[in-house]
Amino acid sequence: MITVTLHHFVLVSFGLVAAGVACMVTKRNAIGILMGVELVLNAAALNFVAFNRFHPWDPTGPAPLDGFIFAMFIIVLAAAEAAIALAIILNLYNNLASVDVDKAREMKG
Amino acid sequence: MPQRQLILDLLLTAFLAPLVSSLVVIFIGKRIMGKAAGWFATAVMAGAFVCSLYAGALWMGQADHSPILLNIPWIPIPGTVAGWLYLGAMIDSLTIAMMSMVTGIAMLVHLYSVGYMAGDSRYERFFAYLSLFSFSMLGIVMANSVIMLFVFWELVGLTSYLLIGFWFEKRGPQLACKKAFVMNRIGDMGFLIGFGILFYKLGGVLLLPAAQGGMFDALRQVIEAEGHSVTNPPLWLTAAGIGLFFGAIGKSAQFPLHTWLPDAMEGPTPVSSIVHSATMVAAGVYLTARLYPILTPGAHLFISTIGLITLVMAACMALVMTDIKRVLAYSTLSQLGYMVLGLGSGAYAFALFHLITHAFFKCCLFQCSGSVIHAAHHQQDMRYYGGLWKKMPITAACYLICTFAIAGASLPFTNLGVSGFYSKDGIIAGTVNYGHAMMAGGYHFGWVFYWGPLVVAYVTVFYMARSFALTFLGKPRDKHLYDHAHEAPWTMWLPQVALAVMAIITVPMLLPYFDLIVATEPTQTVAGVLEPVPWLQQAIEVAGHHSAGMTLTHQALLSGLAWILMLVLGIALYLPGMKHSSRIAALPGVKWLYTWAINKFYFDALYDTVVVNAFKALAIVIAAWDKHLVDGVVNLVGLLGKLVAWGVGRFDNDIIDGSVNGAATLAQTVGGTLRQTQSGRLRQYILLLFTAATLAAVVAVYVLTIG
Amino acid sequence: MTLAEAHPVTRVAPVLFLALAALTVASAWAIVASPNIVRMATYLLLTLTGVAGMYFMLGAELLAAVQLIVYAGGTLILIVFGVMLTASNPGLVLKPCGWEWAAGLTVAGAMAVLLVLALIHTPLIWGYEGTVPVVSSMEGYGQVASVGRALLSDYLVAFEVSGVLLLVVMIGAAYMARKRGGIKGVAQS
């Protein structure tokens, strides 16, 4: 049997990151882009937790919690950011009657 | 020596006085003096005459007759022996003689002009010119260096130009004065060439002022000192002598530069009487006399030949002229030929004496003719005259006396005669010796040198008698003219009488002219020293005191009967007017000669065609050259400038402005291109963001791992 | 004793892990592939669930619970509300064109490749020695008490700041999303 190690979890987070980037780049729907952002944040949190678990640790001292806390805060901030993003998207929808980001081209240089 | 200083001062006063009078008359003559200008000028001239007479008397009273010298350095010429160009005066016996002659004649001509030019619109200006001319002539006479002589030489030419062209409204005087000046200039060119040769060979020595022996005597000593006295005379010396003589050819109207003198009769008669009889034309002879010490035998031969040709040719032309002034003009030419021939033959003293006697009688002759012209309301053709002796007795008498003088009249079989007798016979005697010496040396053509003057002596009497008869004797041919003729005013006949008297009494026994001249005769000449033509040397030495030739001369002239004969013949032939002469002229053999003579041997036509037209053609060529080539070059330069400016403008426009504009365009293009990244499309932004992030990560990793 | 022998969990871990990993990654890529927004939300739910499962496997029970409650039950619902509020036409499908797919996938792929290379070249050999203890022997590892204690002691400042942050976000979002005089140009369906 294969021992599941850090590498595997990191690979999974890589897969999530790639998906998140692809999602961000290709989606025309603004909410789709938001979803991509969520994916990337998730990948990062997973990465933190995996590293926290497999980090060399002195067994006589307390267990490391840095990764956990960080992942916790990631979740908090993801939620906050999703709220703001949705507010923006609602504004976009109110102004353009559509959530297609390709229609939001007024700021071109 | 105080007396010598006094002589110098007197002569300087006499020299400068006419200049002062000329300037005064020029500036205030018309406005303030009016008629008095003429009297003023005459009075000044009379004062000059008195001064020169007094100086002459003092000189004669002296024992020391070495030249008085006044040398004023004028222009510094560094690098030459002389160091300076000199002005000043050299006064020897010849100077004294010439001064008194020139001032006397100038005074009389001034007086004559008061009468002749009365009523002329530019009366005062005439006297200014006349006085200026007198000043210039005195400058030549008193010159102490070649440079000063040449300066006043040119001044004389200028003033004669002004005087001949005095009535410049008429075409005739315009052309005549130009011709006179140009021909003088041609002569001066020869003079400068001769001078140049001497300067080249001898250096700045030429500029030295006169030493004790006269102007060119110093030169002769230098030439000898350079060692040229032993062998053949160097060709350059002969050439220099001929060149210098060319100036005299121009000034004294010798062949071939003689055509200006008859045309110069377009000027007023007083001008003819002073300029073209007594002074300017005599200046050439004077120059040759001063040149005497450096003339080689070759130069002497040249001079004699020129004199002979002029002499004969002019006499022929005088025979057939009908204008009274022209007859006298050609007579002057002929007599000048005598003088030049005399100098060339070695009869130095007699040639110069003839200059002085000629001055008196020719001046008088011209003045008489002027009176006649004045009386005949400016009709100059003798065919309209006749029988004027009744109306103008004084003039006629003076004319007759001067005819005697020019004829060389003497009491037959004696040695007493009027002035012309001594001078002319002296010259002929000199030429006899010269010719004999030449023939003795093997040159068989030498006889022309004395037969020519002898024959012309006969001819001279003849044509003078002709003019006298045509003018004063016979029946009046133009009644209207005869009726209006009258004797001249006293201002005109008084000078004539004075001159006629001088013409008689200027004989060696009475007046000291001849002695003065002989005193300055060069004792040693280059020709005398240079030996290879011994007969010539002998001839020249002997000719100076030529008792041998005199005998033959007297014989040839029929011991004084010849002149009577020719006089009677001339009067007889022309008493009834031109009747007989025209019949003679129509004879077949004579007619050809007559035609040639009356057309002045076609010299004028020749010069006009060959010289004048050639120069006109040259002028056209040069004008075309100037217009097309020179102007063309200038235009080309302008065009080039334009081209360059165009090129620079294009450069400035295209390259400089272009680069500036190009930079702006570049910025614009780059900006426009880069601007497309700001499309406003969100997804593009995201794409770019992640692409950049990836690349940055790659670079960072690369750097961190490798570096 | 190896880790595999020490803990029974590690024995079933590979299969479980594989299943969870497959679920997570597949759902993530399904989000990318799907054009329908509602389907995308569903797939996101599945992804979040898979990640929570992985948290459980890593011994972070509290975090897994928080993930499920907050992320899946809060944020995702928020997103679904957003979908609802901005649905002009439910059947509207917004598709990008071909080259955009290529560009996006290239960038994603490049990033993935980079990360993998970085992973390969980084000596991470933890978990193979016997230094990592078994999870169950870890005293309070991932337990609520220890996390709470840590939050209020070591990470106090971050905790308080995030509280302020959430306040600001709430105010800001409320302000930004307020209704302004009618919706422009909305098709009345």
pLDDT single digits (tens) B527-561: 443 333 444 444 445 444 445 566 666 666 665 67
Mention every residue, 6+ apart, whose C-beta is less than 8 A from residue C177: A86, A87, A90, A91
* SS3 state at B256: coil
How far is C163 from C155, CA to CA, in rounded Å? 12
CB atoms within 10 A of CB B662: 11
Question: Closest Cα of chain C to B707: distance in Å?
Answer: 15
For residue B90, list its beta bridge partners. Answer: B69
Give B18's pLDDT tier (boundaries 50, 70, 90): very high
How far is A4 from C56, CA to CA, in rounded Å? 14
CB atoms within 10 A of CB C96: 17
Which of residues B440 and B151 earns the better pLDDT score?
B151
Which tokens belong to B664? 């702006």
B678 and chain A in contact, CB less than 8 A: yes
Of A49-58, B400-409, B649-658, the poorest mean pLDDT is in A49-58
Q: Which of B680, B686, B690 sits opposite A108 (nearest CB)?
A: B680
Q: What angle do CA B102, B106, B107 make, to 5 degrees?
A: 120
How far is C111 from B676, CA to CA, in rounded Å? 25
Which of residues B180 and B413 earns the better pLDDT score?
B180
Q: Which of B677, B678, B690 sits opposite A25 (nearest CB)?
A: B690
Which tokens belong to B521? 């005769």
pLDDT in tens, B448-484: 888 888 888 888 888 898 888 888 887 887 777 777 7
Mention every residue, 6+ apart, whose C-beta is less than 8 A from residue B257: B183, B186, B187, B249, B250
Of A96-105, B157-166, B268-277, B461-470, the poorest mean pLDDT is in A96-105
Which tokens belong to B509? 């026994």
Q: How many CB pairs under 8 A join A and C?
A: 265
Q: Residue A91 and residue C176: Cβ atoms within 8 Å?
A: yes
pLDDT, average across residues B567-581: 77
Most confident of B143-147, B472-476, C33-37: C33-37
pLDDT, average across residues B424-444: 78
Q: Indicate if the alpha-carbon torsion angle C37, C38, C40, C45 is positive or negative.
A: positive
Residue appearing with tokens 């290529």: C102
Beta strands in chain A (DSSP E): none
pLDDT in tens, B202-261: 766 666 666 555 566 666 666 666 666 533 567 777 888 888 899 889 888 888 888 888
Question: Closest Cα of chain B to A97: distance in Å?
Answer: 17
Please state whether C139 falls in left (phi above 0), alpha (psi between -120 and 50) or beta. Answer: beta
Give C119's pLDDT tier (boundaries 50, 70, 90): confident
Q: Give the A-side interface with B, CB within 8 Å.
A: 21, 24-28, 33, 101-102, 104-109
The pLDDT score that the predictor gives to residue B470 is 86
Residue B681 contacts residue A101 (beta carbons within 8 Å): yes
pLDDT, average across residues B393-421: 82
Q: Which of C114, C110, C130 is nearest to C122 (CA)?
A: C114
Contacts of C130 in chain A (CB under 8 A): none
Helical axes B393-407 vs B490-505, angle rounded to 10° = 30
The pLDDT score that the predictor gives to residue B692 is 92
- Does the pLDDT of residue C22 top 90, yes or no? yes
The distance in angstroms from the start CA to the end CA of chain C is 68
Of B186-190, B293-297, B491-495, C69-73, the poorest mean pLDDT is in B293-297
pLDDT, average across residues B278-298: 82
- Does the pLDDT of residue B441 top 90, yes or no? no
pLDDT in tens, B634-647: 888 999 999 999 99
How far is C13 from B601, CA to CA, in rounded Å? 155
* SS3 state at B263: helix
Which of residues B580 and C115 earns the better pLDDT score?
C115
Q: What are phi and psi of C187, to 5 degrees?
A: -70, 125
Q: How many CB pairs under 8 A join A and B?
A: 35
Mention every residue, 6+ apart, whose C-beta is less than 8 A from residue C26: none
Please state whether B70 falls in left (phi above 0), alpha (psi between -120 and 50) or beta. Answer: beta
pLDDT in tens, B377-386: 777 888 888 7
CA atoms within 13 A on the CB side of B67: 24
Most confident of B39-48, B548-557, C90-99: B39-48
Which of residues B566 and B42 earns the better pLDDT score?
B42
Please provide the average confidence, as pLDDT, over all residues in chain C: 79
Which of 66-105 (A) contact C at CB < 8 A?
68-69, 71-73, 75-84, 86-91, 93-100
Q: What is the largest CA-CA distance in chain C?
A: 71
Q: Residue A54 and residue C126: Cβ atoms within 8 Å?
A: yes
Q: What are phi and psi of C86, to 5 degrees?
A: -110, 20
The pLDDT score that the predictor gives to residue A82 is 94
Question: Could you tell me which chain A residue has the CA closest to the CA of B685?
Answer: A25
Question: Could you tell me which chain C residue has the CA closest to the CA of B697?
Answer: C114
B679 and chain A in contact, CB less than 8 A: yes
Q: Residue C111 and residue A18: Cβ atoms within 8 Å?
A: yes
Beta strands in B648-707 (DSSP E): none
Q: CA dist B627 to B10, B620, C4, Å?
A: 57, 10, 120
Give B135's pLDDT tier (boundaries 50, 70, 90): very high
How far is B238 from B470, CA to CA, in rounded Å? 46
Q: What percent of chain B has pLDDT over 70?
A: 87
Q: Could you give the dihedral angle defined by the CA atoms of residues B177, B178, B180 and B183, in that order, rounded to the nearest 10 degrees?
A: 180
Please state whether B377 falls in left (phi above 0), alpha (psi between -120 and 50) or beta. Answer: left
pLDDT, average across residues B111-121: 87
Of B413-422, B534-543, B608-617, the poorest mean pLDDT is in B534-543
Which tokens belong to B16? 């400068």
The pLDDT score that the predictor gives to residue B365 is 92
Question: What ipTM does the predicted assembly reach?
Answer: 0.91
pLDDT in tens, B155-201: 999 999 999 999 989 888 888 888 889 889 999 999 999 888 887 77
How far is B585 from B382, CA to CA, in rounded Å? 17
- Does the pLDDT of residue B280 top 80, yes or no? no
The pLDDT score that the predictor gives to residue B696 is 92
Alpha helices for C34-142 (secondary structure H): 37-57, 61-66, 76-85, 98-121
The pLDDT score that the predictor gives to residue C73 is 92
Q: Residue B687 and residue C104: Cβ atoms within 8 Å?
A: yes
Q: Indicate if the alpha-carbon torsion angle B679, B682, B688, B693 is positive or negative.
A: positive
Give C27's pLDDT tier (boundaries 50, 70, 90): very high
- Does the pLDDT of residue C184 top 60, yes or no? no
The pLDDT score that the predictor gives to residue C133 is 46
* SS3 state at C144: helix
Check whether the bond before B209 is cis (ω within 30° of 0).
no
The pLDDT score that the predictor gives to residue B562 is 74
Give C121's pLDDT tier (boundaries 50, 70, 90): confident
Question: Could you tell me which chain A residue has the CA closest to the CA of C53?
Answer: A46
Question: Could you tell me which chain C residue has the CA closest to the CA of A34?
Answer: C79
Helices (H) and strands (E) in chain A, counts: 3, 0
CB atoms within 10 A of CB A58: 8
Question: Could you tell me which chain A residue has the CA closest to the CA of B679?
Answer: A108
Q: Indicate if the alpha-carbon torsion angle A30, A34, A37, A43 is positive or negative.
A: negative
Residue B313 contacts residue B339 (beta carbons within 8 Å): no
pTM here is: 0.63
The pLDDT score that the predictor gives to residue C131 is 41
- Does the pLDDT of residue C8 top 70, yes or no? no
- Does the pLDDT of residue C169 top 60, yes or no? yes
